[in-house]
Amino acid sequence: MDAAIAANAALGFLEPISCGVGGDCFAMVWDPKAGKLAGLNGSGRSPRSLSLETQRARAKKGFIAPFGAVSVSTPGAVDAWWTLHQRYGRLKWADLFAPAIDLAQHGAPVPQTIAHYLAVSLRAFTRPGAGIEEVENFKKVWAPEGRAPAEGEMFANPALAHTYRLIAQGGREGFYGGEAADVIDAYFKRIGGWLSRSDLAAHHSQWVEPRSTNYRGVDVWALPPNSQGLSTLQILNILERFDLKAMGFQSTASLHTQIEAKRLAFEDRARYFADPDFAKLPIDWLISKSYAAERAGLIRPDRILTPVNAGEAPSHGDTTYLCAADSDGMMVSIIQSNYRGMGSGLSPDGLGFMFQDRGELFSLRDGDANLYAPGKRPFQTIIPGFATRGGEPWLAFGVMGGDMQPQGQAQIIVNLVDYGLGLQAAGDSPRWHHEGSSEPTGEAGVGIGTLRLESGAPEATRQGLAALGWKFEPSDGGYGGYQAIERWPGRLAAASEMRKDGMALAY
């Protein structure tokens, strides 16, 4: 746990395009003493002073604006780290932040991917009509000379080092109280926003019971809503009704079936997933084998299902993922994000981080489970992954990237279980990404959606899917980012993503 928190803190400086203390955090932890999996929901709530009426008045084409103060929800990451450390940490809390403080204070070379997306963020936040209340703080930290740092240049963030010192010295209260909370409160008052000191003080992470399904002898686990983790379980439940192995690896039939299972699961995601404090969610029904059999019966091998709708319940998804494991049997699957790229575009005075724009994922449509409300947690895309076999920990894994996450997690499990690939090969295998399903924001699905296939997919498979009627978009690299640790008898194996700057480290 100490390793996971320390790495996450370091990434807040090294990879600000994806994560940081302004975002949220979810985790699953195999507790070897208890002999079971624990889950933590570290997502923050919407500002209590921001009303539905104000959100609607400031909406863009009927949806919450992607940037600016209306998109900001309470950051949950620091409290999640604190909560995890209180239960599982061994080192002193302050020691976990020493490497990150040193990096932020003295700087590090900027990798290619980070340089690219910092430049993209600069253009997005400063374009006319972006709707961000102020961008000078962003430019002061990440573009002080009027441009983002180039690949290989040294970059430091002393302001973030200061924030980390406050957290290291004060624990949870170093962020949610004292100087940091005062600065955040004053900042939003100055720019006309809503997040307040009282919102920060009221925030606390929540221990939750992970849910699971058995997929061909492997128990795959997910966190319940407001995250989208159940979508992975639903996709796998549907796929279990088909003989994917006989269909063939990367075959037209296999991919067609997987994509259809995703489309069916995502309609339920759009309709039912929300903060359980505000909506009654039919979780048991959604992940039941009987419901999966009903949904699987809709899939046809020779045509695309249209229209695709959510099931009728009985009346009664830019992110950082990392995992860690040790010789005592603990395995940590942790995911942390600011949501869209760097986040809202808003950075508090002198603290060196950016607030998430997770609030964009609320719906503004009456009757939706995910309808915006003050003090409510938005639908969450970030989902840690975990799998067990025979009641023992087997796999801590994740696939980053918005709506790609449950699609990617299901593909990893299929590659490992159905096709017998090794841990690295399961991640290196070409992926598909389907877009255009209905969204929890209230956005309706568009026809059969569009499909992106990585370049390594067989040409015969691409032609076969096209013959079935699937519509393709050019590959955009949006196939997620995979990391994993697999427990073998007496040892561990690790794999990392070839598409990003990930790595596997042993200590």
- The sheet carrying 385-389 orders its strands as 211-215, 218-222, 385-389, 392-399, 482-488, 491-496
Q: What is the mean pLDDT of residues 478-504?
A: 92
Using alpha carbons, select from 483, 213, 129 the residue that is nearest to residue 322.
483
What pLDDT does residue 89 have? Answer: 97
Instruction: Give pLDDT tens digits for 84-113.
Output: 999 999 999 999 999 999 999 999 999 999
What pLDDT does residue 311 have? Answer: 83
Cα separation, 364 vs 133, in Å, equals 22
pLDDT band at 118, cuts 50/70/90? Answer: very high
What pLDDT does residue 104 have? Answer: 98
Instruction: Give pLDDT tens digits for 394-426.
Output: 999 999 888 999 999 999 999 999 999 999 999
Q: What is the mean pLDDT of the chain?
A: 95
The 3-class secondary structure across 327-345, one letter per residue, is CCCCEEEEEEECCCCCCCC
Q: What is the mean pLDDT of residues 421-450?
A: 94
What pLDDT does residue 12 have? Answer: 97
What pLDDT does residue 100 have? Answer: 98
pLDDT band at 432, cuts 50/70/90? Answer: very high
Crossing angle of helices 2-14 and 158-170, rounded to 10°: 160
pLDDT band at 478, cuts 50/70/90? Answer: confident
Integer angstrom CA distances of residue 221 from 38, 68, 335: 10, 34, 14
List the catalytic residue out of 319, 381, 388, 441: 319
Which domains does the chain show, CATH number per domain? 2-25+42-206+342-361 (no CATH), 208-318+381-496 (1.10.246.130)
What pLDDT does residue 316 have? Answer: 42
Instruction: Give pLDDT tens digits for 177-212.
Output: 999 999 999 999 999 999 999 999 999 999 999 999
Q: How many CA atoms lie within 13 A of 262 on its CB side?
A: 27
Instruction: Give pLDDT tens digits for 121-173.
Output: 999 999 999 999 999 999 999 999 999 999 999 999 999 999 999 999 999 99
What is the DSSP code (8-state) at residue 388? E
Q: Percentage of the chain surpassing pLDDT 90?
A: 91
What pLDDT does residue 317 have? Answer: 38
Cα separation, 41 vs 101, in Å, equals 26
Catalytic residue flag (residue 319):
yes
Q: What is the mean pLDDT of residues 470-491?
A: 92
What pLDDT does residue 37 have? Answer: 98
Q: Percentage of the chain surpassing pLDDT 70?
A: 99
Is 0.85 surpassed by the pTM of this model?
A: yes
What pLDDT does residue 498 have? Answer: 86
Q: What is the mean pLDDT of residues 35-64?
A: 96
**Is pLDDT at 315 greater than 50 in this prediction?**
no
Q: What is the mean pLDDT of residues 3-32?
A: 97
Cα separation, 204 vs 79, in Å, equals 6
CA dihedral sign, ordered 474, 476, 478, 481: positive
Integer angstrom CA distances of residue 382 from 60, 248, 334, 408, 416: 24, 30, 10, 12, 22
CB 356 within 8 A of CB 201: no
pLDDT band at 314, cuts 50/70/90? Answer: low
**Is pLDDT at 312 greater than 80 in this prediction?**
no
